[in-house]
Amino acid sequence: MSLYQVRKDGRLQEVRWDSEASPTAGEILLAAGFPPGGPARPVAARQDGALLDLSRRVDGGAPLAAVTQADPEALDMLRHSLAHVMAEAVVRLFPGVKVAIGPSIEDGFYYDFDLPTAFTPEDLGKIEQEMGRIVKERQAFSRSTLPVAEALAKFQEKGEVYKAELISDLAASGETEVSLYQCGDFVDLCRGPHVPDTGLGAAFKLMSVAGAYWRGDEKRPMLQRVYGTAFFSEKDLKARLQFLEEARRRDHRRLGKDLDLFSVHEEIGGGLVVWHPKGALLRSILENFERAEHLRRGYQVVMGPQILRSELWRKSGHLDYYSENMYFTEIDGQGYAIKPMNCLAHMFIYRSRLRSFRDLPLRLFELGTVQRHEKSGVLHGLTRVRQFTQDDSHIFCTPAQVTDEIKGVLRLISDLMAVFDFKFDMELSTRPAKSIGTDEDWEMATGALRAALESLGAPYEINEGDGAFYGPKIDVKLKDALGRSWQCGTVQCDFTLPERFDLTYADSDNQKRRPVMLHRTVFGSLERFIGILIEHYAGDFPLWLAPVQAVLLTVTSRADELARKYYSSLREAGLRVEIDLRNEKLGYKIREARLSKIPYMLVFGDKEVENGTASVRRRGEELGGRSLEEFQSLLSQESACPAWEWRP
């Protein structure tokens, strides 16, 4: 007889096992009273922090805990299991296909396949049907282990070159044994764990196909990546599909085209954005708003060059830690790099004259355009580009001023996010493995960031090892109208670059001291932020931000003169209006304006000419007749940029 401990309902209980054979984790949990079916049924076990298949045999040790559908790990396991189901279905349907990798991801799962012909939408439908049959078969996921050499021979014999390569890498790293999982006739190299059987995966949907280089290397074969999603219930799957449909409706790439804001052309180059008049105007409004807010808070606007000598980037550490993201050129035999960030020029502004403690803090602000080498596979509309503009600032301050300056940055971020109704979370990211600077500097910098957060009472999570190579940072992750998280603003505390570039100030005793350097953004990349705004508002921008605030529509040419009068006066008042005098039906004009998401429509017909007014509609709501003075006053008040009393 053996005794096993099980954690259930927050308490430990003992389970007696009389058989000589070691029990499985599932048998112990059932003996402890967990149900064999339903949402409370265990789908895996947890022991000493590790997840186990229910079929794994246990020999005592730490207490077992059940993993049920309510646990976040369970959904990840289900999706990983569905990736295997998809691979089994593809192998059944497409003889000769080679399988690569198939993990779960945040929103579902994928599997990469090497097949001579491209998957079609009809193929996805066939794969889904075959997966449905596998689910109904309730195939068990069974785990086994093999010595590395045997596993390598097994997959080489099957012609599975990608699995063989993975096993060879495991052998090179010192692994002597690998684990395999089988469902039906499909055997896969996998660490696991998996749900007990395929029957739990009935609520799934295949979403799309995309190209993906093997192991992310552009020099390796291009594979076909099939994406899917899965849930434990049809209700959750339906909710997810509805969410995705809403996300597609808000997709900034589609809206950018429909609203004539921007475009990206392969002839020009991937990740390089062309701003159309309305998009450039939207961007200018945002830039002017942010520039004014920074001036109010004591920042000084500066501008640095696009290229700097490579030696400076070597001195800063970027060549050692960031060169794969940079572009290089040569001028007069000298190496230069196109800037991926704006900090170097700002340090030279600081160094341009002697500084005293009375000059600090010095807050420099630049809407600086930078270039970063991104792989073509990750480029995505405005949210992942190769050229973008950062609202970059660098604050130089004394050590005693650091905490207050960080608090000021966080207040600024909070104020500006409130303008757009963004909620946000914050993460404190600590020292990465590859970094520069002393342990003492990193401890002081991390402590300053933590002190600022705690002084403000701001909740935050710790993100271990994800700081910048020169200092720890606070990342601000805003949440849009759909609850999606986007990393935008950041504040980084840097004791190291001031040392490398010999930045000093004279203290009250006229002694040389090192300033602390804060790197920070609020919106981050303007391109990315505008993409987020487009999706957040679904293109229906608030009036102060809308590129076109009102459109004037005529019913008959007899109203053209009155419409032109309104148009001229509103334009002279600085309001952004358009006029449509085409000989088209009013319904057609209204539909065009509605699809363009223009907030106000002013309609002019014979009745309006007689009364000297315009019939006003605001986002579909009828407001009735308005004189020119009434509408101009209304529009001017509503379109004013947001403002609030600044808190120092």
Domains and CATH numbers, the chain: 2-70 (3.10.20), 73-249 (3.30.980.10), 273-304+340-537 (3.30.930.10), 550-638 (3.40.50.800)
The reported pLDDT for the residue numbered 647 is 47
Q: Residue 67: which of 82, 89, 81, 51 has the closest Cα?
A: 51
The H-assigned helical ranges of 431-559 are 439-456, 497-500, 526-537
Q: Quick one: 237 exposed, middle or buried, by C-beta within 10 A (0-12, 13-18, 19+)?
A: middle
The reported pLDDT for the residue numbered 10 is 82
DSSP string, 45-69: EEETTEEE-TTSB--S-SPEEEE-T
Could you say which residues of the chain have pLDDT below 70? 1, 643-648
CB 492 within 8 A of CB 471: yes
Q: Residue 125: which of 214, 207, 43 has the closest Cα?
A: 207
CB 310 within 8 A of CB 337: yes
CA distances 432 to 209, 436, 466, 467, 468, Å, are 34, 9, 5, 6, 7
The reported pLDDT for the residue numbered 17 is 84
d(CA 344, CA 322): 14
d(CA 210, CA 206): 12
The H-assigned helical ranges of 317-401 are 318-321, 343-351
Cβ density class 186-223: b for 16+ within 10 Å, e for less: bbbbbebbbbbbbebbbbbbbbebeebbbeeeeeeeeb
Cβ density class 258-279: b for 16+ within 10 Å, e for less: ebebbebeeeeeebebebbebb
What are the φ and ψ backbone dihedral angles of 563, each rounded to 5 degrees? -60, -40
The reported pLDDT for the residue numbered 639 is 85
Catalytic residues: 343, 372, 390, 392, 394, 473, 519
Q: Residue 56: which of 23, 17, 18 has the closest Cα?
A: 23
The reported pLDDT for the residue numbered 9 is 84
Catalogue the E-assigned strands of 262-416: 262-264, 273-275, 300-301, 307-309, 327-331, 334-338, 362-371, 387-397
* Percentages (nearest 5) of helix, strand, coil residues in the chain: 40, 30, 35
Catalogue the E-assigned strands of 117-253: 142-147, 177-183, 186-189, 203-213, 222-231
C-alpha dihedral sign at 17, 21, 27, 28: positive
CB 235 within 8 A of CB 392: no
d(CA 153, CA 178): 13
Query: With left for phi above 0 and alpha for psi between -120 and 50, is residue 559 left, alpha or beta?
Result: alpha
Q: Quick one: 538 exposed, middle or buried, by C-beta within 10 A (0-12, 13-18, 19+)?
A: middle
Q: Residue 263: which of 252, 274, 250 has the closest Cα?
A: 274
The reported pLDDT for the residue numbered 92 is 95
Q: Using only the alpha carbons of the chain, give its radius of gyration.
A: 31
Q: Residue 200: which of 46, 101, 75 has the closest Cα?
A: 75
CB 194 within 8 A of CB 144: no
d(CA 398, CA 427): 24
d(CA 174, CA 180): 18
Q: What is the pTM of this model?
A: 0.85
CB 550 within 8 A of CB 598: yes
The reported pLDDT for the residue numbered 643 is 61
- Cβ neighbours of residue 332 under 8 Å, at least 6 residues apart? none
DSSP state of 281: H
Q: Quick one: 255 exposed, middle or buried, by C-beta within 10 A (0-12, 13-18, 19+)?
A: buried
The reported pLDDT for the residue numbered 595 is 95
